Each structure stands twice: as C-alpha cells, then as structure tokens.
C-alpha cells in the first residue's frame, strides 16, 4: 500500500461526491488487502467508513446539498475512502450532527452497524435478558456492549484482563478473561446454570462453535466471523436459532430497502452519540500515510476501541 495521486471521481445518478475528512480502520480492510477481490481493478483504494462534506450531487439527488456533513459505510467491491474524495450512494449516507466530529462519525459504520444489526435486526431482543458479547474491547464488541446495556440487558463480555475495566466502563456487567478463566463455567455461574439467551460472536468459527455450549434452551447465536459447526447441537434438543451477519452483503442484494437501513442505523447511532449515550470509542487518530502500518497493528488483534485516519 502506498499514497499516490489519482483522478477525482465523479458522482453518477443517485450519488454524491464527498470530500473525505476522516476514514475509519476496520479488520475487513487488512483482510481484503491480503486476499484481494475479483471485482477490483488496480490500483485499488481501500476504506469503507468515510465521513466528510458533500461537494457535488449527482442526477436525481434531492436530500443532500453542498456543505452537508455525512458519514457512510461503503461497498468493499468498489473504490474506497482512504482518499481525499469518494463517491457515495445518496440514500445510504447519514447526516452528522453538529456536536459530532468527523473522526467520531467515521468510527461508527462497519463496527457499529454490525453490532446494531445483530441486536436489533436479528435477535428477538424483547425475549433476551442475558447476552454474551465476545471481544468487548474491540469495535463490534464495544458497540455491542453499549447498545445491549442501553436496551437494559444483563451484559457479559470477554476480554483480556487488562481491558476489563474499560469494557465495564462501556456497560458490561461481567467480563470474563478468556485466556485465564473457563468461559463456560463462568457463564453458568452467572446465569445460575441456565445458560445465556444470546451470544454475539465476531471472533472466529471456533469461537462461535464453542459458544454453542453456552446457550440456554431457545438461545440465539449471532455469528460474524464464520459459521459454527452446526452438528455440535442435535436437532430438537436446545432449539437454538442461528443468525448470520454480513454487513457488506447488502450491496450484493440490490435491495434498496436493505440499503436504506444502513442510513437508518447510522442516524440512530449518531443521535445516541450526540445525546451522550454512546461512545465512539475513538482511541487513536492517525494520518493517511500511517494507514498501512496501522492496518498491520490492527491485524495483530490487540487494538482497543477504534482507529481513524484524519484526511483533512
């Protein structure tokens, strides 16, 4: 990866051109940078979570005008936002409140919308009292902990011991050191041997498989980083429900209603943030030139909270 000049893109029908002020860093960036994508032509620009100012509107766009502040979750198959300008589908952008900085807004989309979709689009949240959210010190986990606590749930999370107080500050009632403690034993202790109503796993296939042992009867598993081994639980026993999250797949759905929902989620999360109810978890702001090195650090899975690159 390197920084170089390229032509400024032009917005098409239903699109807006955004002058990027900040762009979020996410694990999907280093994963796609490593593996590539058959839809790319090179050189390719990474970066999904962009926040900036509208500088041009395409044909048919009426909801935005020049000068509006917006944030967006982009299509990983297209040119991204680690750049001074990016093109955004107008109906998928959210308006940034005046009280929120570009950097804070850029910290939300990939991790925040994923957590929001898990909680409020997949789970029957009115039937969930206890929830385990793995990796509470990370992006998806951290937003998940906050959203679940705002919804009044008993929140359990996993994290390294040095991050326990941080995860509790986000709203976790219990934090389990997955390296030093028996997670299943602790969950059963906390739930009086009943098990957990719902688990949100953004760690790995193995973690999702291990989480099946933690579920109560009629429990729910939301998996983001790979499906579990479904054969681990016999049919007609625990009656477990499984929910897959693949946020970026919305672009392949060609479903405008589903695409609109990204803006709905963004609007709500930004409102919560402006009201002081949600923390952007912004822990580090870097320059565009520092993105390659920062993605290497992110790939080592020891980054707390969110990293954002300040472009302007």
Domain coordinates in residue numbering, the chain? 15-107+253-310, 111-245
pLDDT > 80? residue 179: yes
Q: Which two tokens stand for residue 211?
A: 């989480």
At 103 the pLDDT is 98
At 48 the pLDDT is 97
At 20 the pLDDT is 98
E-strand spans in the chain? Answer: 15-24, 49-57, 69-73, 85-89, 94-95, 130-133, 154-158, 174-176, 196-201, 215-223, 241-244, 282-287, 306-310
pLDDT > 80? residue 302: no
Q: How many residues does the chain have?
A: 312
At 58 the pLDDT is 98
At 301 the pLDDT is 78
At 226 the pLDDT is 94
CA distances to 47, 79, 136, 225 from 167, in Å = 27, 34, 6, 21
At 229 the pLDDT is 96
Alpha-helical regions (H) of the chain: 27-35, 102-106, 114-117, 139-150, 164-170, 183-190, 205-211, 250-253, 256-274, 291-299
pLDDT > 80? residue 286: yes
- Contact yes or no for 27/45 (Cβ under 8 A): no
Mean pLDDT of 251-272: 96
Write out the CATH class of domain 15-107+253-310. Answer: alpha beta
Q: Which CATH number, 3.20.20.140, 3.40.50.300, 1.10.579.10, 3.40.50.720, labels domain 111-245?
A: 3.40.50.720
At 74 the pLDDT is 95
pLDDT class of 303 with cuts at 50, 70, 90: confident
pLDDT > 90? residue 309: yes
Tens-digit pLDDT profile for residues 63-103: 999 999 999 999 999 999 999 999 999 999 999 999 999 99
At 187 the pLDDT is 98
Return mean pLDDT, the chain: 96
Nearest residue to 90 (alpha-carbon basis) of 52, 64, 118, 114? 64
- Estimate the crossing angle of helix 27-35 against helix 291-299, to 10 degrees: 100
pLDDT class of 35 with cuts at 50, 70, 90: confident
Alpha carbon 240 to chain centroid, angstroms: 24
At 159 the pLDDT is 96
């Amino acid at each position: 990866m390197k920084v170089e000049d390229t032509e400024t893109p032009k917005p098409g029908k239903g699109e807006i051109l955004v002058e990027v002020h900040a762009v979020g860093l996410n694990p999907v960036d280093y994963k796609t940078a490593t593996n590539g994508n058959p839809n790319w032509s090179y050189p390719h620009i990474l970066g999904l979570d962009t926040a900036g100012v509208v500088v041009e509107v395409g044909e048919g766009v009426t909801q935005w005008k020049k000068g509006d502040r917006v944030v967006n979750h982009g299509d990983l198959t297209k040119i991204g936002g680690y750049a001074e300008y990016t093109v955004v589908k107008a109906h998928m952008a959210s308006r940034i409140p005046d009280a929120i900085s570009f950097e804070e807004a850029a910290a939300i989309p990939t991790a925040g919308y994923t957590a929001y979709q898990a909680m409020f689009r997949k789970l029957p949240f009115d039937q969930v009292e206890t929830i385990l959210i793995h990796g509470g010190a990370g992006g998806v986990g951290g937003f998940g902990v906050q959203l679940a606590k705002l919804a009044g749930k008993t929140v359990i999370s996993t994290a390294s011991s040095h991050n326990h107080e941080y995860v509790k500050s986000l709203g976790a009632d219990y934090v389990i050191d997955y390296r030093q403690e028996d997670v299943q034993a602790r969950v059963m202790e906390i739930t009086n041997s009943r098990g957990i109503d719902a688990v949100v796993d953004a760690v790995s296939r193995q973690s999702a498989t291990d989480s099946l042992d933690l579920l109560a009867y009629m429990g729910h598993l939301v998996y983001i980083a790979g499906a579990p081994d479904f054969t681990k639980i016999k049919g007609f026993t625990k009656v477990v429900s499984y929910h897959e999250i693949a946020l970026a797949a919305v672009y392949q759905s060609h479903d405008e209603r589903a695409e609109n929902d990204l803006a709905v989620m963004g609007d709500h999360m930004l409102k919560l943030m402006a009201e002081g109810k949600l923390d952007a978890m912004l822990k580090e702001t870097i320059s565009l030139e520092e993105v390659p090195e920062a993605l290497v650090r992110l790939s080592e899975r020891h980054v707390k909270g969110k990293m954002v690159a300040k472009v302007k």
